[in-house]
Amino acid sequence: MGVGMHPWGKWGRPFLEYGVAAARAALRDADIAWTDVQYVVGADTIRNGYPGFVAGASYAQALGWTGARIASCYAACASGAQALDIARTRILAGLCDVALVVGADSTPKGFFKPVGGDRPDDPDWLRFRLLGAANPAYFGLYARRRMALYGSTPDDFAAVKVKNARAGSLNPMARYRKPVTAEEVLASPMVADPLRLMDICATSDGGAAVVLASESYARRRGARDLVFLSAVSTVTPTFPNTVLELPNFATDSSAAVPAPERPFRAAIAYAAYEEAGVGPKDLSLAEVYDLSTALELDWMEDIGLCPPGEADKLLRSGETGLGGRVPINPSGGLASFGEAIPAQAIAQLCELTTQLRGRAGPRQVPSPRTALAANQGLFGHGSALITTR
Amino acid sequence: MTHAIEGWFAVDADGVFLLGTRCAACGTVCFPPRRGFCPNPRCEGEDLKLTRLPRRGRVWSYTNACYPPPAPFVAAQPYEPVTLAAVELDGAGIVVLGQVAGLTVDQLDVGMELELTSGPLADGPLVWMWRRAS
- Nearest Cβ partner of B84 from A131, A251, A254? A131
A53 confidence band (pLDDT: 50, 70, 90) = confident
Reply yes or no on whether the pLDDT at A51 is more than 80.
no
Q: What average pLDDT does this structure show over B84-103?
A: 97
Starting at the edge strand that comes first in sequence, how are the strands of the sheet with A285-288 ordered?
A: A228-234, A382-388, A370-376, A285-288
Pick from B38, B32, B28, B41: nearest CA to B7: B32
pLDDT value at residue A62: 96
How many other CB atoms are found less than 10 A from the CB of residue B56?
Answer: 15
Residues A267/A354, Cβ–Cβ less than 8 Å: no
Whether A61 and chain B come into contact, CB under 8 Å, resolves to no
List chain B residues with CB under 8 Å of A137: 63, 65, 84
Mean pLDDT of A174-187: 98
- Give the residue-averaged pLDDT of A179-198: 98
Please compute the mean of the pLDDT values over residues A22-40 and round it to a whole number: 98
Minimum-distance CB partner of B5 among A130, A190, A248? A130
What distances in angstroms separate CA A163 from CA A19, A253, A344, one per listed residue? 29, 38, 19
Residues of B in contact with A193 (CB under 8 A): 62-64, 66, 105
Q: In this structure, are strands A39-43 and A228-234 parallel, antiparallel, or unpaired? A: unpaired
Query: pLDDT of A120-175, one tens digit each?
Result: 999 999 999 999 999 999 999 999 999 999 999 999 999 999 999 999 999 999 99
In chain B, DSSP finds a helix count (H) and a strand count (E) of 0, 9
Quote the pLDDT of residue A48: 60
Q: Smallest Cβ distance to B28: which of A111, A125, A253? A: A253
Residue of B nearest to A138 (CA): B63
Rounded to whole angstroms, what are the CA distances from A251 to A113, A241, A242, A276, B43?
22, 6, 5, 31, 18
Is residue A91 within 8 A of residue A213, CB to CB? The reply is yes
Q: Residue A21 above 80 pLDDT? A: yes
CA distance A313 to A139: 21
Q: Does A206 touch chain B (CB under 8 A)?
A: no
Question: Following DSSP, what letter does each residue of A281-335 receive, concatenated?
Answer: GG-SEEEE--SBHHHHHHHHHHTTSS-TT-HHHHHHTTTTSTTSSS-B-TT-HHH
pTM comes to 0.96
* Terminal CA-CA length for chain A: 12
Give the nearest chain A residue to B27 (CA atoms).
A256
Tell me whether residues A257 and B26 touch, CB distance under 8 A: yes
Ordered DSSP codes for B16-69: EEEEEEEETTT--EESS---SS-S-TT-----EEEEEPPSEEEEEEEEEESSPP
Q: Considering CB atoms only, which of A145, A248, A255 is closest to B110?
A: A145
pLDDT score at B1: 80
**Helices A55-63 and A15-30 sit at what angle, rounded to 10 degrees?**
70
> Measured between beta carbons, which residues in chain B are less than 8 angstroms from residue A130?
4-5, 121, 127
> Do residues A80 and A345 lie in contact, with contact meaning Cβ atoms separated by under 8 Å?
yes
A 108-147: CB under 8 A from B: 110-111, 113-114, 118, 120, 125-134, 136-137, 140-145
With CB atoms and an 8 Å threshold, state whether B60 touches A128. Answer: no
**Domain map (residue ranges) of chain B:** 9-132
Query: ∠B70-A131-A154 over CA atoms, to 5°?
Result: 85
| Alpha-carbon A186 to chain mean position | 25
- Band (A41; pLDDT cuts 50, 70, 90): very high
Kindly tell me if the per-residue pLDDT of A50 is higher than 90. Answer: no
CA distance B13 to chain A (A): 23
The model's pLDDT over A303-359, given as tens digits with 9 standing for 90+, comes to 999 999 999 999 999 999 999 999 999 999 999 999 999 999 999 999 999 999 999
Q: What is the DSSP string of A37-76?
A: --EEEEEPP--SSTTGGGHHHHHHHHH-----EEEEE-BT
Mean pLDDT of the region B9-18: 95
Residues of chain B with Cβ-Cβ distance to A126 below 8 Å are: 5
pLDDT of residue A49: 62
Alpha-carbon span A173 to A100, nearest angstrom: 20
What is the rounded CA–CA span in Å between residue A27 and residue A34?
A: 7
Q: Which of B6, B34, B58, B63 would best serve as a mutation to test chain A binding (most A beta carbons within 10 A)?
A: B63
List, in sequence order, the alpha helices (H) in chain A.
15-30, 55-63, 79-92, 123-126, 135-150, 154-168, 182-187, 215-220, 264-276, 293-302, 311-316, 333-337, 341-356
In the predicted structure, residue A113 carries a pLDDT above the cut 90: no
Task: Judge: B63–A144 Cβ closer than 8 Å, yes or no.
Answer: yes
Angle at A50 between CA A48 and CA A51, to 5 degrees: 110
- Specify the DSSP class assigned to residue A258: P
Give the span between the Cα atoms of B84 and A97, in whole angstroms: 50
CB contact under 8 A, B32 and A250: yes
Report the alpha-carbon distance of residue A60 to residue A16 in Å, rounded: 10
- Whether A316 and chain B come into contact, CB under 8 Å, resolves to no
pLDDT at A110 over 90: no
Cross-chain Cβ contact A193/B105 below 8 Å: yes
A77: closest CA of chain B, how far (Å):
20
Residues 219-258 of A with CB under 8 A from B: 239-240, 242, 244, 248-257
